[in-house]
Every structure is written in C-alpha cells, then in structure tokens.
Amino acid sequence: MENKKDLDPKLLREMFNSIRSAEIQNIKTQKRDDKGMVRIIEDYINKKVMEEMTGDED
C-alpha cells in the first residue's frame, strides 16, 4: 500500500523542473542574489507541498 505521507514522484519531477528553470533563468538575467532565490524556492516548495497535503484530505 502506498504511504500517503510520501509525495508523488510526478509532482517531485514537476517541482524539480520548475526550480531548475528558475535557476537557469536567474543565471542569465542575474535579477536575484542567492538569498533571494533560496527564499523564492522555499516559498514555492512550501506552497506545492501544502497544496498536495490539502488535496489528499478530500
């Protein structure tokens, strides 16, 4: 049986690709420093995990 506490591998791949794209874009444009990128990535991960957790409750 699948453990509901684990995140979906498809979701993890989607998150990885989004973060990677944001990092590559930032390398090209240099809009944010490392601290800003970490903050944005952390917020993105927290939001996605919370969406996944609330989706499992239904």
Domain spans of the chain?
32-58
DSSP string, 16-50: HHHHHHHHHHHHHH--S-HHHHHHHHHHHHHHHHH
pLDDT at 9: 87
Q: What is the DSSP letter of 3?
A: -
| pLDDT, position 1 | 36
Q: Which pLDDT does position 52 carry in this prediction?
A: 84
Compute the half-sphere exposure of residue 56: CA atoms within 13 Å on the CB side of its CA: 12
Check if the beta carbon of residue 48 is closer than 8 Å to that of residue 15. yes
Predicted local distance difference test score (pLDDT) of residue 5? 62
The per-residue pLDDT string of the chain (58 residues; one tens digit each, 9 = 90 and over) reads 345 566 688 989 999 999 999 999 999 999 999 999 999 999 999 999 898 888 766 5
Residue 38: the pLDDT is 95
Long-range (24+ apart) CB contacts under 8 A made by 6-10 are: 7/49, 7/52, 8/52
